[in-house]
Chain A
Amino acid sequence: MTLTVYRWMLCLYPGSYRGEFAEEMTSVFLDAQSTLPPALAAKISFYRREFCGLLSGALCAHFDRLFGPAIPFRRFDMQPQFRFPRSTVLLMLVIFAGTVLTIAKASSIAGARPGSVWPSFVSVVVLMLLTMCTAAAVVVGILHALRRSGVYRLENVRGRMDSVESNGKP
């Protein structure tokens, strides 16, 4: 029965992944299952580990397929040199502002009576500024989180070590 559940859970993986690894994974699962100790606790721990591993593995495989391996989903993907370019943030904000302005202009042209455009335009601009500030805060938060990652801290430690070794003092 556990094998059936295992095979069913393999269906959660993307088709290409299943084609490449499903047979092998099932074989390894059966090998591992056959060498389980008789204790109930060990069995429960094994099945919990296996099924949780399958769920998270399937999720990661789908993320990889959708967004590519460049997304830092797990520690394995983090690159010590990775920095989110600040020019990209600026560019995104400019594009966003342009889009909102275009929508505002279009809606004012589409509907309305002469003279009533400016109040709505001002409110749209205020709304746009607020949204931009929120977006900027989110981006800064992400940047901050990236810079506080384990990899970044380790790189700092390494840099400090190098300077300690070269100067002979901390």
Chain B
Amino acid sequence: METVALSEPVLLVLLSLAEQPRHGYSILKDIESMSSGRALLSTGTLYGALQRLLENGWIERVEEDSTPRDRRTYRLTSRGRRNLQMEIERMRHLTKVAALRMARKEA
């Protein structure tokens, strides 16, 4: 099993890229709308997460000649998609436990 992305910003970045390749500003806006304005990432946090994800090979840059250097696009790799799937599975387990606990408490 690989390192699992656990922090909310990283998870949101991965979820944003799971749908389609995006550039930095598009990721920020997508995360904002995905979380109904609750999660607002700074550029420092966003690029810190992107750098880690690039280093770990979870995402990659889309190489296009026409893309300007300040607007590079990122997409999920198959490794990143697999790890995201694992993370979602882990969260599903957790919510299942939470539901069980709450049901026992109420019973």
Q: Which residues of A come within 8 Å of B, CB atoms?
A: 17, 20-21, 23-29, 31-32, 49-50, 52-58, 60-61, 69, 74-81, 150-151, 154, 157-158, 160-161
Judge whether B44 and A28 touch: CB under 8 Å: no
Q: Mark B68-89, 1 if CB is under 8 A from A, else 0.
A: 0111100000000000000000
- Report the Cα distance A48→B8, complex, angstroms: 20
Interchain pairs with CB closer than 8 A, number? 96
B94 interface hit (Cβ, 8 Å): yes
* Known contacts A32-B28, A57-B48, A151 near B6 by CB under 8 Å: yes
Judge whether B94 and A76 touch: CB under 8 Å: no
Judge whether B3 and A53 touch: CB under 8 Å: no
Instruction: Give the dominant DSSP class at B's interface.
Output: helix
A5 to chain B minimum Cβ distance, whole angstroms, is 13
Judge whether B94 and A157 touch: CB under 8 Å: yes
Q: Interface residue count for B (Cβ, 8 Å)?
A: 33
Judge whether A74 and B1 touch: CB under 8 Å: no
* Known contacts A32-B25, A32-B28, A151-B6, A27 near B44 by CB under 8 Å: no
B33 interface hit (Cβ, 8 Å): no
B55 CB contacts on chain A under 8 angstroms:
69
- Report the Cα distance A31→B46, complex, angstroms: 14
- Report the Cα distance A21→B43, complex, angstroms: 10
A31 CB contacts on chain B under 8 angstroms:
25
